[in-house]
Amino acid sequence: MKLSSLALLGLPFLYLTSALPKITRTGKYLYDESGSRFYIKGVAYQPQGEAAAESEANAANGGFPEPSSFHDPLSSPQNCTRDLPYLKQLGVNSVRVYSVNSSLNHDECMKTFSDNGIYVLLDVSLPLNGSIDRSSPSWSTNLLNEYISTIDAFRNYDNILGFNIGNEVITQVSNTNAAPYVKAAARDIKAYLKSVSSSALVGYSATDGDADFRNSLAEYLTCGGDDIAVDLYGLNNYEWCGDSSYNASGWNAIVSGMQDIPVATYMSEYGCIFSPPRLWTEVAALFSTPVSDVFSGGVAFSYFPTSDGYGMVTISSDGNTVTTSDDFNRLSTQYNATSPPNSPAKSSVTAGQTNCPSESSSLVASNTLPPTPNEQVCNCINEKALSCLVRSSTANSPTIVGDLLNYACQLLGSSTNGTASCDPIGGNGTSGTYGELSYCSPAIKLSYAMSAYYEFNPVDTSCDFAGNATLSPTRPNTAEDASSSASQCLSSEPSGGVFTPSPVSSSGASSTSSSATGSRSGSGTAPAGSNGGGASSSASVALSGSVLMGVVGVMGAVAGGALMVL
């Protein structure tokens, strides 16, 4: 079917004069402003980017090649107008978008969708260095700033349903040590949204797996109350294949396992292609009891064509013409036939919370979360307490930064007889311990490691690292100066280490809120670029005040004195 006119489709534009109803969560259900239940009837709306090369660390953690590039689908008014009649023919009320460029303008696309009753579920992470790395997890200043920048670009649109802070970050039991970082991201993003009076939901989309893994992770990310639990828990599920059934597909076990989750759940991706053709018989089950007693709809994958056969339309080479498939037509039939139950009534729902699960054979995640990333402290340390700084050209290459960080930390371990290490910039999501600079950007972590090595042998060649580093013009003269500067920088850390982030400044930094609250909780990670989940699981990070233990300690050893700490 090709687009020539709206009359051809029998689908008139419906330009609404009022804002879309706000969707909120009460307990485990979504409701509109009238009190009616809201179900996500969605489709994934993201053109496929290029796949990056697989890394050894990611492969060891059950990963797959991530995109190395993306095409922002909400920045082209022409394309959104082109696709609108087909989204309406599908009968969707939501689209899920995985990556956008926050510096571009999205007004026309968002208005086009809003005027036609389509909400947007937006992932705020980006490919490669713009998301929590499952092989070496960290919740850091650069990620917080990136997430807030995207949120600020979209939070005032009336059809933003929610912001996803992660998609399949955790893929197997061995990398559930990344879960504290995902939960810390949810905590900080929820605090930020509240501070700017946004009611947008905060979500996470999980990979499927065996029941113990699937249920334990869902319990972990939704436990502990509204301040730290996600609002919307998605499951990327492809178990209903062909003309299957509620029991044969295993959906009965999924519904049973999720029935006590205290927040709204949905199928954030679904649509198995392994028993073609896709009949979409799961749609009827998804929007009726007993599934609708637990799930609030789902997102079919995918509107745009994919290299592995999940797409429902093809786009002409000039980008102007859409051709639908039988796959598209069958989903349209199923979606437009849905009539989900409007129960339970909002007034009858009691919001609750669950206790967080303990570590187990299916969950190696501590309930102690890392602190809020503090740009002010990291920049202060970088400017006043470090001697050897990564060059800006290198800092913009995450692969080189990761490799250099591994190398510098190995040098510290082999060259300093244990007097210096990368512990202050690392952490452990299983034990819930973290270094005091574990939330800094990968570039500042690298500068820390290189500075520690330089202080062990303070000659110019020690701060070269194959031309990737340079001596700081404001470097401290002595170990005592470094210690004093670091102490002054750390003194601005809010009590407890958890605070409400502020908007990103023009320099790209999020400042520390003056109304810091909460208790410092912690889990950390191995330094960025470390090799796989095993490295971060075995890291041991002290909670002492020795942020510059490596730099200051080595300097003291060189001077012949005792080990110095801050």
Report, as residue numbers or ranges, the catalytic residues.
168, 269
- What is the phi-psi region of residue 35: left when phi exceeds 0, alpha when psi lies from -120 to 50, beta otherwise? left
Q: Yes or no: say if 527 and 425 are a contact pair by the CB < 8 Å rule.
A: yes
Residue 222 CB-half CA count within 13 A: 29
Please tell me the distance from the alpha carbon of residue 419 to that of residue 438, in angstroms, as a whole number: 19
- Of 548, 42, 33, which Cα lies nearest the Cα of 303? 42
**23: which DSSP letter?**
P
Find all residues with CB under 8 Å of 361, minimum gap 6, and list them: 173, 212
Please tell me the distance from the alpha carbon of residue 151 to that of residue 545, in angstroms, as a whole number: 34
Tokens describing residue 545: 């005040």
**Coil/strand/helix, residue 235:** strand
CA angle 476/477/478 to nearest 5° reads 95
Burial class (CB in 10 A: 0-12, 13-18, 19+), 273: middle
- Of 187, 122, 111, which Cα lies nearest the Cα of 439? 187
Please tell me the distance from the alpha carbon of residue 173 to that of residue 2, in angstroms, as a whole number: 46
Q: Yes or no: say if 267 and 286 are a contact pair by the CB < 8 Å rule.
A: yes
CB contact burial 7-19 (16+ within 10 A = b; e otherwise) = eeeeeeeeeeeee
Q: Yes or no: say if 299 and 120 are a contact pair by the CB < 8 Å rule.
A: no
Q: Yes or no: say if 228 and 260 are a contact pair by the CB < 8 Å rule.
A: no
- Of 129, 200, 128, which Cα lies nearest the Cα of 160? 200
- Of 490, 455, 477, 541, which Cα lies nearest the Cα of 381? 490
Tokens describing residue 252: 């009965």
- Tokens 């800094």: give the residue: 440
**75: which DSSP letter?**
S
